[in-house]
Copies of this chain bind each other. A is one copy, B any other.
Amino acid sequence: MTLDEARALDAADPLAHCRDRFLLPSGKIYLDGNSLGALPAATAARLGETIEREWGESLIESWNKHDWIGAPERVAAKLAPMVGAAADELLIADSTSINLFKLLGAALMSGDRRVILSEEGNFPTDLYVAQGLEALVPGVTLKTVPADQIEAAIDQSVAVLLLTQVDYRSGRKHAMSALNAAARDAGALTLWDLSHSAGAFPVDLTGNGCDLAVGCGYKYLNGGPGAPAFLFVARHLHDRLHSPLPGWMGHADPFAFDPIYRPIGGIGRFRTGTPSILAIAALEAGLATFDGIAMSDLEAKSRSLSQLFIGEVEARCGGAAQLKLASPRDPSARGSHVVFAHPEGYAVMQALIADGVIGDFRAPDLMRFGFAPLYNSHEEAWRAAQALGEIFESRKWDSPRFTKRERVT
């Protein structure tokens, strides 16, 4: 493909105008929106207003006057259609890890089964949270199996099946509907981590029969570093499940200061403490970058960008014999990031970053490139592939400047 052909794809892109909703650093091609979404153009002003007008002028009265008290539900309602949930099934709260704990604990407390079933390669924090429950609650057991053995491992001992829809390394996407059906048949609940899904392509929690879900606000949702996360509880479970992390914000009448916890009906019982209003305001500005966007356009562009990138990388890096696509080749089988493996992946990625193309590296040998359909362009995907080709050709990566491992992230 030529640069002009890539540009022609951008000219026909129905989401091209969305790039203006972001402030992107000049001279860089940012392909790490799957780690930290780019800065929306409206965020700084929104935070300024929340800080100066709401907090500064109205102070404590803002809980009522500016509806701080309703922020977790209000912002969740904006996210709900993007993940196929009803507004009252979704809540903005805490971090992904904390929300995982709440929902895993709630699932365990809802019956006598003690097994959490997950995938060996699930995102580590998901496994750590389950290990925390193992250490805290006698009898709870985390069982992990390879991806291709999950369905066979769902038996009558399983309380909850804990999976991440899109693998953080390969981008491989699980077949949600089939796994949910298998779990339902065995009487197990399902808990999906949507951290690499929400905002990248349409998710249909309800249509696929998901019971529980969590996800991250700071990746494709553009909510800022460490943004509040979200949690989903299907309506049919609202009265049956109880949070193991009750707090005053989830009480039926928080300002009665009742010494006995009595959960509010619905999703609000999964609130714990007082949420950061500043962080939620930034997430709300992040979600506003999706205003008026068809999720189908988002998915189509994600595929178009990633397919272009794979094709160009493979065309340009023929000399790098050990370079291998580590993502599914079929775009319907992966999320919105693409991974190439190479034994010198760390150094190659550092050289690429030095050239202004920002992806990231995951041990032992994975170079990861995220495509955020709202702000990445086909020209960027083309130029990133070109830069990678040049680095392999010149062996620029083979320098202590790049091979020395010193980066934290």
Which of chain A's residues 21-63 have a Cβ closer than 8 Å to chain B? 23, 25, 28, 30, 32, 35-36, 38-39, 43-44, 47-48, 51-52, 55-63
Cα distance, A255 to B48, chains bound together (Å): 34
Assuming A261-B127, A363-B256, is B224 touching A69 (CB within 8 A)?
Answer: no
A382 in contact (CB, < 8 A): no
Residues of chain B within 8 A of A226, CB atoms compared: 68, 273-280
Chain-B contact segment, one of A89-97, A184-192, A199-207: A89-97
Contact of A260 among B32, B48, B123, B131 (CB under 8 A): B131
Report B-chain residues with C-beta under 8 Å of the C-beta of A245: 97-98, 101, 129, 132
Given the interface pairs A23-B52, A245-B129, A261-B132, the reply to whether A358 lies near B409 with Cβ below 8 Å is: no
* Contact (Cβ within 8 A) B136 A248: no
Q: Are B63 and A408 touching (Cβ within 8 A)?
A: yes
Interchain nearest-CB distance for A136 vs B (Å): 4
Any B CB within 8 A of the CB of A243: yes
Q: Is A282 an interface residue (CB 8 A)?
A: yes
* Assembled-state Cα–Cα distance A32/B251 (Å): 23
Q: What's the minimum C-beta distance from A260 to chain B, rounded to whole angstroms?
A: 7
Q: Does A144 contact B (CB under 8 A)?
A: yes
Closest partner residue, chain B, to A273 (CB atom): B95
Query: Given A224-B278, A256-B363, A259-B127, A97 and B273 touching (CB < 8 A)?
Result: yes
Closest chain B CB from A193 CB (angstroms): 12
- Counting every copy of the chain, the complex holds 2
A247 interfacial contact with B, CB 8 Å: yes
Which chain B residue has the least Cβ–Cβ distance from A41? Answer: B56
Say yes or no: is A398 at the interface (Cβ < 8 Å to chain B).
Answer: no
Highest count of chain B CB atoms <10 Å: which of A56, A138, A228? A56
Most buried by B among A48, A109, A128: A128
- Contacts A128-B247, A137-B137, A225-B68 given; indicate if A36 touches B60 (C-beta within 8 A): yes
Q: Does A64 contact B (CB under 8 A)?
A: yes
Cβ-defined contact, B56 with A25, below 8 A: yes
Known contacts A25-B59, A56-B39, A276-B279, A135 near B244 by CB under 8 Å = yes
The answer to whether A23 and B125 have CB atoms under 8 Å apart is no
Min CB distance A106 to B, Å, is: 9
User: Which listed residue, B59, B272, B279, B407, touches A358 by the CB 8 Å rule?
Assistant: B59
Q: Which residues of B contact A407 (CB under 8 A)?
A: 64
Q: Which residues of B contact A358 (CB under 8 A)?
A: 59-61
A135 and B262 alpha carbons, distance in the complex (Å): 13
Q: How far is the CA of A259 from the CA of B280 in the complex (A)?
A: 30
> Which residue, A30, A38, A256, A282, has most C-beta atoms of chain B within 10 A?
A282
Across chains A and B, which 10 residue pairs bring their CB atoms closest together, nearest first? Answer: A95-B273, A97-B273, A97-B247, A225-B277, A125-B248, A39-B56, A128-B261, A276-B279, A226-B276, A136-B244
Known: A109-B135, A226-B279. 4 other contacts (CB 8 A): A125-B247, A125-B273, A132-B243, A226-B276
